[in-house]
Amino acid sequence: MKAVLGAALALLLVTAASLALGVRPIGPSDYLDMMLAFDPTNADHVALATVRLPRVLGAIIAGGALGVAGAVLQGITRNPLADPGLLGINAGAAFALLAGGALLGDLDQTRVAMLTFPGAALAALTVFGLAGGLRGDTGPMRLTLAGAALNALLLSLVTGAVLLRRESLDMMRFWVAGSLAPAGSRPLAEMALAAAAGAILALAIAPRIEALSFGHALARGLGIRPGRTQGMALAAVALTTGAAVAVAGPIAFLGLMVPPLARRLVGHRLRMELVTAFLLGGATLLLCDTLGRLVLAPAEVRVGVMTAVIGGPVFIWIARGLRPGAQA
Amino acid sequence: MTLRARGLALGYGGRRIIEGLDLDLGEAPMTAILGPNGCGKSTLLRALGRLMAPEAGRVTLDGEDIRRLDTKALARRMAILPQSPVAPEGISVGDLVRRGRLPWRGMLSPWRAEDQRACAEAMAAVELSELAGLPLDELSGGQRQRAWIALVLAQATPLLLLDEPTTFLDLSHQLDLLGLLRARGRERGLTVVSVLHDLNLAARFCDVLVLLGPRGLVARGEPSEVLTPAHLAAAFGLSAEVHPDPVTGAPMVIPR
């Protein structure tokens, strides 16, 4: 319980810092002003309401959702390398968004953003199907390879499309690394709802996911239907990952880094882990975004680049810790 | 608690391993399934534990077909421990055993004192209480095996199916475990069906032996009826003598 409170405190501190720090320093009194007496002609108020506040909310939604998605994936696969980015689920959602944007028009429409959910779900099913996870157990190796294959396939499709189209630089930028800069124009409320639905589903089936991590035989002995549980878990992953991609674009490594940290804090108790992963995921993404805004100010480093810079070494560290043939 | 198989045929992809097997289990507290490698001991246990669909015939628990029973309701009556279960890396013994309570918990029900009691009692039974906080990976093979036993004991079912529960245990822990299971049978009516390798241990601790051979059931019944030179020759192709164990009087197999 202490660990959960600590994670919540961390999120609060990062939120306060992110709201206050920036090219233009803004104090708590300005926020109070903005909330109590919003003045549309005041440039500070407008900047807070349309840029900085949505950005903070977007980071918490996307980061929290990816933390939950990673914890669920690592739970059902018993694989510490399971991450929506590495498994190609981010790519599936982002691909659906780009394809929808190209076919239907504007990238930022709520309608187009909804395409991330079927995109993520389809990618998750594909990767699990390829890795044999629907029939039985997936080893870390097969699942990671299936994810790499799906990522490569979707990348080649996007590259092909980019080379054909004129406005392709935006597409490519969106594809390569997520960003929270346009958070103000994203459908934050809808995506917050979707992420919350995914998180609640994950919390509800958490004990069953725990049983599933013992393998199908023991799970069935404990009264679980493995297929149904996997299906619901993948639905939770699709909802959370889809929401994260619709808000911030594909963000790699966050779903990889956060759950092991949460487990270290609360042990192997999935409900507590999910709550902690949500809080830590939000705090981490927000911290990365705030640092990205500050390090090269007034230019900024995209948050997807920041998480990859931090996440790459963490990935290597986790992979090195795997014993040969480990079923983590 | 009676577990019955009627006309059971089991196999993998057309290759029949067991054909037309009738079996009544659960009238005696301890039953062992014995036989040579590859004769279908684990397959039979998996079918009894509804982990595998029979190609023909059915398994009933107190008269009801186990494949028709709700899986969660069944998990409150029958626990099964497969041969080499896998655990998430870094999980502690205590967190592992907690998961045995799953069939007794509702979607939203909190962790109750009853759950806590069942887990503490299960860990005490296998002498792991002091190690509850340790990661499973840091335990010895024998301690790990006992942690898995604690998980199915925490499940608190009247019927327990175990696939080679004594693997990885040294002799004294094998005796402890089988003794513990038999004591539970006597005190609380626990019924245990396990696949075992060691014929002499099985004869010493079990009330009923089911001996399988390369062509299906060879014999079943009390140890003294089952472990005869003729049956051993049929099941294992083994030439052996059977003498009473000087300590307990149970039949003891001595290969020639």
Q: What is the pLDDT along chain B (256 residues), one digit of tens a residue?
A: 789 999 999 988 778 888 888 999 878 899 999 999 888 899 999 999 998 889 999 999 998 999 899 999 999 999 999 987 888 888 999 999 999 999 998 777 788 899 999 999 999 998 899 999 999 989 988 889 999 999 999 999 999 999 999 888 889 889 989 999 999 888 888 999 999 999 999 999 999 999 999 888 999 999 999 999 999 999 999 898 999 988 888 899 998 8
User: Which chain B residues are within 8 Å of A211, Cβ to Cβ?
Assistant: 99, 102
From B201's Cα to the closest Cα of chain A, the distance in A is: 26
Contact across the interface for A221 and B87, Cβ inside 8 Å = no
From the list A75, A80, A223, the residue facing B89 with the nearest CB is A80
Of B75, B86, B87, the CB nearest to A221: B75
This model of the complex carries an ipTM of: 0.89
Is the CA virtual torsion A198, A121, A242, A100 positive or negative?
negative
Helix (H, G, I), strand (E, B) or coil at A33: helix
Q: Which domain holds residue A62?
A: 56-321
Measured in angstroms, the CA of A310 and the nearest CA of chain B are apart by 23
> Quick one: closest CA in B to A139, which residue?
B86
Q: Is residue A179 part of a domain?
A: yes
CA dist A89 and A110 (Å) reads 20
Q: Are A242 and B120 in contact (CB under 8 A)?
A: no
Q: Which residues of chain A have pLDDT under 50?
A: 324-328
- CA-CA distance, B136 to B128, in Å (whole number)? 11
Between A214, A223, A328, which is nearest B103 by CB? A223
Cα torsion angle, A205, A206, A211, A215, sign: positive
- Give the separation between CA B144 and CA B136, rounded to whole angstroms: 6
CA distance B90 to A137: 19
Task: Give the C-alpha separation, B151 to B163, whole Å.
Answer: 14
How confident is the model at residue A299, as a pLDDT? 78
Contact B90 A328 (CB under 8 A): yes
Partner residue opposite A269 with nearest CB, options B95, B105, B155: B95
Cα A266 to chain centroid, rounded? 21
Nearest-by-Cβ selection for B102 from A204, A207, A225:
A207
Query: Which chain A residues touch B75 with a CB distance below 8 Å?
Result: 221-223
Would residue A43 count as lying in a domain? no
Residue at A121 is within a domain: yes
Q: How many Å apart are CA B39 and CA B21, to the nearest integer?
A: 13
Which of A74, A127, A26, A28 minimizes the C-alpha distance to A281? A74
Q: Which residues of B touch A206 (CB under 8 A)?
A: none
Cite the DSSP H helix spans in B14-128. Answer: 41-48, 71-75, 93-98, 113-125
pLDDT reported for residue A324:
47
Instruction: Give pLDDT, residue B124.
Output: 93
- Taking only the tens place, the pLDDT of each residue in A48-85 is 777 888 889 999 999 999 999 999 999 888 777 788 88
Collect all residues of chain B within an 8 Å Cβ-Cβ radius of residue A204.
107-108
The total number of structural domains in chain A stands at 1
Domain B1-77+158-224 has CATH 3.40.50.300: yes
Query: Among B70, B84, B91, which would you mutate to test the A interface (most chain A Cβ atoms within 10 Å of its Cβ)?
Result: B91
Domain boundaries, chain B: 1-77+158-224, 87-156
Q: How far is A205 from chain B (nearest CA, A)?
A: 7
Spell out which residues of chain A touch residue B50, defining contact as CB-CB under 8 Å. Answer: 220
CATH of the domain at A109: 1.10.3470.10
Three-state DSSP class for B43? helix
Q: Measure CA of the first residue to CA of the last residue in chain B; give whole Å.
A: 40
pLDDT, tens digit, for every residue of A155-177?
888 777 777 766 666 767 777 77
Rounded CA gap, A286 and A60, in Å? 7
Residue A89 makes CB contacts below 8 A (sequence gap 6+) with A69, A120, A123, A124, A127, A147, A237, A238, A241
Output the pLDDT for position B83.
86
Q: Which of A75, A80, A220 sits opposite B71 (nearest CB)?
A: A220
Residue A11 lies in a domain: no
Q: How many angstroms separate the CA of residue B125 from the nearest CA in chain A?
A: 20
Tell me which chain A residues have a C-beta less than 8 angstroms from the C-beta of B84.
none
CB contact under 8 Å between B71 and A224, yes or no, is yes
Pull the structure tokens for residue A266.
């609360």
| Cβ contact, residue pair B99, A222, below 8 Å | yes
Which chain A residues contact residue B87 at CB under 8 A?
A: 213-214
Contact between B39 and B17 under an 8 Å Cβ cutoff? The reply is yes
Residue A136 has what pLDDT? 59
For residue B161, which residues of chain A lie inside 8 Å, CB to CB? 221
